[in-house]
Chain A
Amino acid sequence: MTASSQLPTGTALPAPPAPGRRRLITEESVTALFFILPSLLGFILFYAMPALRGVWISMTDWDLLTDASFIGLQNYSRLFQDAEFWNALKVTLYYVVLNIPLQTILAVVIAVLMSRLTKSMLVRGLIILPWLLPPVVVGLLWLWLLDPNIGIVNVALKSLGLPMIAFLGLPQYAMPTIAMINIWQYVGYTALLIFAGLQSIPGSVYEAASIDGASENQMFWRITIPLLRPVLVFVLVTSVIGSFQIFDTIAITTKGGPINATKVMNWYIYEQAFTRYNMGYSTTISIILFAILVFISLAQMRLMRAGESDM
C-alpha cells in the first residue's frame, strides 16, 4: 500500500520538477533583482552615467560662461603641449615613488614586529589611530607642527643647534614632507592588513623550516614574503591607486605650491575645474588619470602574479 502510493510520485518525480524549478528560478530571479535593483539604479544614475557624460564633456570647450560646443579631441591634443599637465604628472609620480616603497617596507617591519612582540589589542588599536583622523585634521596638525616659525619640529631643530626649515614652503622639501605626512597617516593601517596576512601563515610551516635548518633570514624571504603575496598585492594596488589620487593633504597644506612643487594631477584637475572653470579640459585630464590608474592596477596585478609559486 505504502509502496504503491509512493511509486506514482516516485516515477512522476523526474518530470514535474523541471518546470517547477524553472518557475522557481524566474520567481526568485525577480526577488534577486529586487535585492540589487536599488544599488544598480543608483550606480547607473550617479556613477556610470556621470562617467560616460565625462567622456562627452572632455570633448567640449565647456567653461561655465558659454555653452559647451563639441571640439573633438582638441583637449587631448592640448594636453601634449601643456607643460603644467606634464609637471602634474611628474609631481604625482614623484609622490608615489616617495610614498609607496617606504610606506610598504615600514608597514612590513611594523607588522613583523607586532606579530613577534605583542598580542596586545591596545597596540593594534593604537596603530591605526592616525588612519581614523580626517585628512583635514591631519593636514592642519602637521601644518602647525611644521610651521617655520612656531612649529614644534623647528623649535626642536633650533634647540639642537640646527637650522630651521620651512618644510612645506620650500619646493625641494614640500613633496617629501607631504609624503611623510601621509605615511604617518596610513602606515599603521597598512601594517595591520599585513599583520592579518602574517597571522594566516600557519606556525607549522616555520617549525618545519627550522627543523630543516633554515635561518630566520631564509624563512622571511622564502616563506613569509611568498605567502604574504595576496595581501601584499591587495595593499600595493590599493595604496598605489590611493597615492595617485592624493588631494586632501595638499588642499589643506600647500595648495599645489610652492611654485607648483606639489601640484599633483588631482589638484590640477580641481584647479582647472573650480578656479579656472575649464570644465572640458579638466575632465580630459581626469580621464587620463583614470586610464593611468587602470593600466597601473592591471600591470601591478599581472606583475605580482608572475613567477607565483603555488606553495
Chain B
Amino acid sequence: MKTQRASWLYLPLLLMAAFYILPMYIMLSTGFKSFAEVSLKTMWNLPTGIHLENFQRAYEALAPNLWNSVRLVVPAAIISSILGSLNGFVLAKWKFRGADLIFPLILFGMFIPYQSILIPLVEFMKRINLYGGIWGLVLTHVIYGIPITTLTFRNYYAGIPVELVEASRIDGAGILGVYWHIMLPLSIPSFVVVLIWQFTAAWNDFLFAVVLTKPASWPVTVALNNLAGSQIIEWNVQMAGSFLAALPTLLVYIFLGRYFLRGLLAGAVKG
C-alpha cells in the first residue's frame, strides 16, 4: 500500500520537474539554433546542427563584461568570506564588551533595503573617486555581504565545543592561535558555502551594478540586459548570451555543489 501511494506521488513531482526544467532546456536549445530555426513550428525541436556562431556572437558582445564580472566576483567573494569568518569567530567565541551590541546591529543591517542606501552610497563613492569603476562595486559587495557571512560563520563557530578552545588556550594559544589552528581548519565547509553564496550573489547582482558602474565596467548582467534592450539582437543570440552569463555560477555549483548543499542543509536549521 505504501509503494502504491508513493508511485502516485511521482506524478505531481514529474509535472513540477517539467515546469522546472523545460525553460532551461529551451534556453539552451535555442542558443544552439540558427535564426531560421527560431520559429513557431520548430520551437520544441532540437537544433538541426550545433550552431556555435550564436555563442560566438554573444561572446564577442559580452566578453569584456564577463571579465568584468570575474574581476568583481573573485575578490568580493574571498574578502567578504574572510571578514565574515573573523567576525563570526569573535562574536561566537570571544565575548568582548559591546559584542552584544554589534551582532544585532549587523543583523539589522540585513533588513535595510539596498534602495534606501543607493543614493547616498553613489554620492559617497563619487566623493572618494570609486564611482563608476569595478573596485567600488567590489567594495560594495564585500560590505553588503558581511551580515550574511558573519551570521553563517557565527552559527557554525557557536557549535564548536568550548572545551576545544579552552584546551588550546591552556596550551598557551592566544586568540590568534585559536583562530588559526583550531577554528579556521574546522570551518572549511562553511567557507565553501559562504564563498559560493557570495560568488552567486555578486555575479547575479543587477541593482548595485547598474547604479554604481559606468558602461566600461559593466558586469555581464547589466550588459546582457542592455544587449536585449537594443532589439536588434535575435533571440537565439540573446539566449546564448544568457547561457554564457549563467554558466560560471553553474560551473562553480557543479564542482562544489555537493559541499554547498551539505553546508546549507546543516546550517539552515540553525538560521
The one of B84, B140, B210 that contacts A46, using a Cβ cutoff of 8 Å: B140
Kindly name the residue among B6, B87, B204 whose own CB sees the greatest number of chain A CB atoms within 10 A: B204
Interchain CB contact (< 8 A) of B204 among A36, A110, A134, A270: A134
Which residues does chain B contribute within 8 Å of A116, judged by CB atoms?
6, 9
List, sorted by A's number, 9 A–B pairs whose CB atoms are closer than 8 Å.
A28-B175, A35-B90, A129-B20, A132-B250, A135-B206, A137-B224, A197-B269, A274-B211, A290-B112
The reply to whether B143 and A46 form a contact with Cβ atoms under 8 Å apart is yes
A residues in contact with B235, CB < 8 Å? 144, 150
Q: Which stretch (A171-179, A188-196, A202-210) binds chain B?
A: A188-196
Interface flags for A223-249 (1: CB within 8 Å of B; 0: not) read 000000011001000000100110110
Chain B residues whose CB sits within 8 angstroms of the CB of A127 once the complex forms: 20
B119 and A282 form a contact (CB under 8 A): yes
Judge whether A39 and B211 touch: CB under 8 Å. Answer: no
Complex contact A252–B120 (CB within 8 A): no
Q: Which residues of B contact A286 (CB under 8 A)?
A: 113, 115-116, 118-119
Quick check: is A126 within 8 A (CB to CB) of the other chain? yes
Closest 4 pairs between A and B when the two form their complex, measured CB to CB: A50-B120, A286-B116, A134-B204, A53-B120
User: Are A134 and B143 within 8 A (Cβ)?
Assistant: no
Interface status of A269 (Cβ within 8 A of chain B)? yes
B139 / chain A contacts, CB cutoff of 8 Å:
42, 46
Would you call A200 and B269 a contact (CB within 8 A)?
A: yes
A residues 269-304 touching B (CB-CB < 8 Å)? 269-270, 273-274, 279, 282-283, 286-287, 289-290, 293-294, 297
CB pair B43–A196 under 8 Å, yes or no, is no
Tell whether, in the assembled complex, residue A113 and residue B111 are in contact, meaning their CB atoms are under 8 Å apart: no
Please tell me if the beta carbons of A35 and B86 are within 8 angstroms of each other in the complex: yes
In Å, the complex CA distance between A33 and B102 comes to 12
Q: Which of A9-17, A73-81, A97-105, A117-125 is near enough to bind chain B?
A: A117-125
Is A7's beta carbon under 8 Å from chain B? no
Contact B265 A192 (CB under 8 A): yes
| Chain B interface, DSSP helix/strand/loop, else mixed | helix
A116 and B6 alpha carbons, distance in the complex (Å): 8
Q: Using A32-B90, A136-B221, A297-B111 as known contacts, say yes or no to A110 and B16 having CB atoms under 8 A apart.
A: yes
B23 touches A50 (CB 8 A): no
Chain A residues within an 8 Å CB radius of B96: 29, 32-33
Are B224 and A273 interface neighbours, CB within 8 A?
no
Q: A150-B40, A152-B44 are in contact. Are A130 and B119 (CB under 8 A)?
A: no
Cβ-based interface call for B162 (8 A): no
Is B228 an interface position by the 8 A CB rule? yes
Which residues of chain B come closer than 8 Å to A152, judged between CB atoms?
26, 43-44
Task: Tell me the B222-271 residues at the A interface (CB within 8 Å).
Answer: 222, 224-225, 228, 235, 238-239, 242, 245-246, 249-250, 253, 257-258, 261, 264-266, 268-269, 271
Query: Counting CB contacts under 8 A, is A69 at the interface?
Result: no
* CA–CA, A101 and B25, complex, Å: 28
B82-119, CB < 8 A from A: 83-84, 86-87, 89-91, 94, 96-97, 102, 106, 109, 111-119
Closest to B242 in A: A137
Determine how close the nearest CB of chain B comes to the CB of A114; give it in whole angstroms.
8
Residue contact B246 to A132, C-beta cutoff 8 Å: yes
* B121 touching A50, Cβ below 8 Å: yes
Q: Which residue of chain A has its CB nearest to the CB of B44? A: A152
Q: Which A residues are CB-close (under 8 A) to B264?
A: 192-193, 196
- Number of A residues with CB within 8 Å of any CB on chain B: 85
A132, A234, A252, A289 — which one has the most chain B CB atoms within 10 A of its CB? A132
Min distance, Cβ B200 to any Cβ of chain A, angstroms: 6
Give Cα A166–Cα B76 distance, bound, in whole angstroms. Answer: 40
In angstroms, Cα B33 to Cα A150, docked, is 15
B38 neighbours in A (Cβ, 8 Å): 150
Query: Residue among A28, A50, A51 with the most chain B CB within 10 A?
Result: A50
Q: Are the CB atoms of B116 and A287 closer together than 8 Å?
A: yes
- CB neighbours (8 Å) of A266 from chain B are 113, 115
Known: A51-B112, A273-B118. 18 other contacts (CB 8 A): A29-B97, A32-B96, A36-B91, A39-B150, A49-B120, A51-B120, A117-B6, A127-B20, A132-B246, A134-B221, A140-B239, A184-B19, A196-B269, A199-B265, A247-B115, A266-B113, A273-B119, A290-B116
* A218 in contact (CB, < 8 A): no
| B166 CB to nearest chain A CB (Å) | 14
For the complex, what is the distance from the CA of A251 to the CA of B268, rounded to whole Å?
30
Residues of A within 8 A of B114 (CB): 245
Q: Are A54 and B206 in contact (CB under 8 A)?
A: no
Q: Are A134 and B249 in contact (CB under 8 A)?
A: yes
Tell me if A167 is interfacial: C-beta within 8 Å of chain B: no
Cβ of A134 to closest chain B Cβ, rounded Å: 4
Selected from A43, A50, A142, A143, the residue in CB contact (under 8 A) with B146 is A43
Cα distance A152–B39 in the bound complex, in angstroms: 9
Contact at A141–B86, with CB atoms within 8 Å? no
Q: Bound complex: CA of A10 vs CA of B16, how far in Å?
A: 72
Chain A nearest CB: distance from B227 CB in Å? Answer: 9
Contact residues in A for B265 (Cβ distance below 8 Å): 192, 195-196, 199
